[in-house]
Amino acid sequence: MPAYLAEWSPAARTAAHTALRDLLDTGVDRARVVIYAADDTALSTIELQDPSGTIDSATGTLTLDPDGRDEEAAESGEADHATLYDGDGNPHRSLPVAEGTSPQAGKIVVTSKQIQQGEPVELVSAQVG
């Protein structure tokens, strides 16, 4: 009998994240990450490259690839979570936002969680899984 698996196997995670990436890459526009405050105010939008990310075949982790930064944040506030949208504007997954300078699995990492309207927002890393 197989052992109890608390998490997906790398093969299953790879398949799931490949499907998510391919779904994000559908639509007329580029996929994007929208960063929200805790009250769901949209603070910043960052477009992703096409394709929107790469899959690590050993771990199954999807790393999203930003296409630059948001040069002017739409609103001021503290970043709480971010939602991944496909090119048609359909939401597919939300992840917590963290502040830092290096990738964190399962999080959207920005240089500062304190976002100021009109100021640039830099996406350090976005990893699913």
What band does 67 get if pLDDT is binned at 50, 70 and 90?
A: very high
Q: In whole angstroms, how far apart are CA 16 and each of 4, 62, 94, 128?
A: 20, 9, 15, 10
**Residue 3 forms part of a structural domain:** no
Q: What are phi and psi of 20, to 5 degrees?
A: -65, -45
| pLDDT value for 45 | 98
Is 1 part of any domain?
A: no
Asked whether residue 1 carries a pLDDT value surpassing 60, the answer given is no
In a domain, 2, yes or no: no
Kindly report each contact of residues 51-55 with a partner whose C-beta sits within 8 Å and lies 24 or more positions away, as own/partner. Answer: 51/21, 51/25, 52/21, 52/24, 52/25, 53/21, 53/24, 53/126, 53/128, 55/14, 55/17, 55/18, 55/21
Domain of residue 64, residue span: 10-128
Q: Which residue has the tokens 């093969």?
A: 11
In the predicted structure, residue 2 carries a pLDDT above the cut 80: no
pLDDT over 80 at 3, yes or no: no
Distance, CA of 45 to CA of 42 (rounded, Å): 8
Residue 88: pLDDT band with limits 50, 70, 90: very high
Does residue 32 form part of some domain? yes
Mean pLDDT in residue range 21-48:
97
Does residue 85 lie in a domain region?
yes
pLDDT at residue 9, rounded to an integer: 87
Beta-bridge mates of residue 48: 66
97: in domain: yes
Q: What is the pTM of this model?
A: 0.92
SS3 at position 84? strand
**What is the model's pLDDT at position 4?**
74
Model pLDDT, residue 129 = 79
% of the chain at pLDDT higher than 90? 89
Domain membership of residue 4 (yes or no) is no
Total count of domains within the chain: 1
- Residue 50, domain member (yes or no): yes
Helix ranges (H only) for the chain are 10-24
- Checking if the pLDDT of 108 tops 60, the result is yes
